[in-house]
Structure 1
Amino acid sequence: MKDLKEINSIYFDVLKEIGNIGAGNAATSLARLLNSKISMQVPKVELLNFSDLAGIIAGEEETVVGILIEVTEDITGSMMFFLQMDSAKHLVNKLVPPSDDTEGVFSEMELSALKEIGNIITGAYLSALSGLTNLKVGASIPYLCIDMAAAILSVPAIEFGMFGDEALLIENQLEDEVLINGYFILLPDPDSYDKILGSLGIHI
């Protein structure tokens, strides 16, 4: 079992490729869902201290939409996707009529649409991960949370802190009339790092 700090440049390149393919898959899938042309900027991929993630995703008091799934099968761990509130509202309003609510709370129909968007986006990354490694990758039902980023990240931070203090952050910028900011975090269990590398014939 390796500490996350042992990740070398080759492995980081592999993770970046997963991020690039996943973002492309997500843009294509969202375009189909929304029946709209979506352009994608090159994702920004960074390995960061877990404690720094919340501040990059949003301001300290800013509410965001967080989607969490558990990764299962050959690779285990967690996957999270965050959308800033204005981006989430834009995507949802492309699928369902805007609600009359003025407090920023999503209606039941909007929450259902958000979960579908979350399914598509996280599925796009899982497909990239599976396709690149030829490993079987499954996922739990997405868990949706609307809160401050630090609050959403606090639960996985406790579990993840047992293994290391760095995580992979992929920042996506999609454009569909407006700029859509999304943040993807991959948290494989330590043993899964070896499986990912081994599937590619890479040994550290």
Structure 2
Amino acid sequence: MTSESPITDMHLDVLKEIGNIGAAHAATSLSQLLDRKIDMHVPNVKLVSFDEMFDLAGGAEATVAGIFLRIEGDLSGSMFFVLSLESANHFIRSLIDDESFDFGASTLPDIGVSAMQELGNILSGSYLSALSDFTGLKIYPTVPSLSVDMVGAIVSFGLIEVSHYSDEVIVIDTQIREEGESGSTSVDGHFFLLPDPSSYITIFKSLGVM
């Protein structure tokens, strides 16, 4: 953390607790959608530099499936959810029951794109709902957009705004475990949360941990 950072370890612990509540809600929704047991939890929430964020996602030039949305209402900012292509393919194939679906293909079927956007809706919506419940703030996510590109290209839009006042990003690690007939599989994804400047103060003042 930089000396100017408004975020302390206490803040990150609170965000981790909120994240696990959101993950539990998301797991319930995904279990119903996939008709199989899904467990989710947030093992870690941390504040990292832009370079460290890229490393977590496999490097700035790694190709991933990324969901982007803006946060509006009493808070404003950007949120990204990033999955490796392997992990994204696994979940979308389960959702649409099509083992041939591949995010690496030159043309993506609309049903696969819609399914990935719905996955982003569920995950981000569950986390932001938990944050809203804790803070009492009105928080609205925009409709998520999907990109399959290099990490650096996907998150560059959000970094342009943040880089004017910070060189750090809140990373919410997310672990998703799926129980199937052939056993369990586990994948890791990352939320990158980039609040606008005034929203840092709004969040933690509402949580009573200023």
**TM-score, length-scaled by structure 1:** 0.89
The answer for the alignment partner of 2:164 in structure 1 is 162
The answer for the alignment partner of 1:179 in structure 2 is 186
Secondary structure of residue in 2 paired with 1:52: helix
Q: Tell me if the contact between 2:64 and 2:84 (Cα under 8 Å) persists in the aligned partners.
A: yes
Identify the range of structure 1 (60-69 vs 6-15) with the bigger mean alpha-carbon deviation.
6-15
CA separation of 1:4/1:35 partners in 2, compared to 1, >3 Å: closer, same or farther? farther
Structure scoring higher RCO (CA < 8 A, sep ≥ 6) equals 1
Report the alpha carbon displacement of residue 7 of structure 1 after superposing the two structures with TM. Answer: 1.7
Report the alpha carbon displacement of residue 49 of structure 1 after superposing the two structures with TM. Answer: 0.5
User: In the aligned structure 2, how far is the partner of 1:119 from the partner of 1:200?
Assistant: 24
The answer for the alignment partner of 2:205 in structure 1 is 198
Instruction: String of CA shifts for 1:108-147, please: whole Å, max 9, x gaps.
Output: 2111111111111110111111011011101111111111
Report the alpha carbon displacement of residue 97 of structure 1 after superposing the two structures with TM. Answer: 3.1
User: In the aligned structure 1, how far is the partner of 2:8 from the partner of 2:123?
Assistant: 27
Paired letter, 1:95: L
Identify the range of structure 1 (152-161 vs 68-77) with the bigger mean alpha-carbon deviation.
152-161
Q: How does 1:131-142 map to 2 (within 5 A)?
A: 131-142=133-144
The answer for the alignment partner of 2:14 in structure 1 is 14
User: In the aligned structure 1, how far is the partner of 2:206 from the partner of 2:174?
Assistant: 26
The answer for the alignment partner of 2:149 in structure 1 is 147
Q: Tell me if the contact between 1:54 and 1:153 (Cα under 8 Å) persists in the aligned partners.
A: no
Report the alpha carbon displacement of residue 14 of structure 1 after superposing the two structures with TM. Answer: 2.0
User: In the aligned structure 2, how far is the partner of 1:115 from the partner of 1:102?
Assistant: 15
Q: Tell me if the contact between 1:38 and 1:174 (Cα under 8 Å) persists in the aligned partners.
A: yes
Percent identity (aligned): 43
Instruction: String of CA shifts for 1:15-74, please: whole Å, max 9, x gaps.
Output: 222222222222222112111101235522111002221111124543111111110011
User: In the aligned structure 2, how far is the partner of 1:160 from the partner of 1:59?
Assistant: 20
Gaps of at least 5 residues in structure 1 are none
Q: How does 1:42-121 map to 2 (within 5 A)?
A: 42-98=42-98, 100=100, 104-105=104-105, 106-121=108-123
Report the alpha carbon displacement of residue 79 of structure 1 after superposing the two structures with TM. Answer: 1.1
CA separation of 1:32/1:57 partners in 2, compared to 1, >3 Å: closer, same or farther? same
Report the alpha carbon displacement of residue 6 of structure 1 after superposing the two structures with TM. Answer: 2.8
**TM-score, length-scaled by structure 2:** 0.87
Secondary structure of residue in 2 paired with 1:71: strand
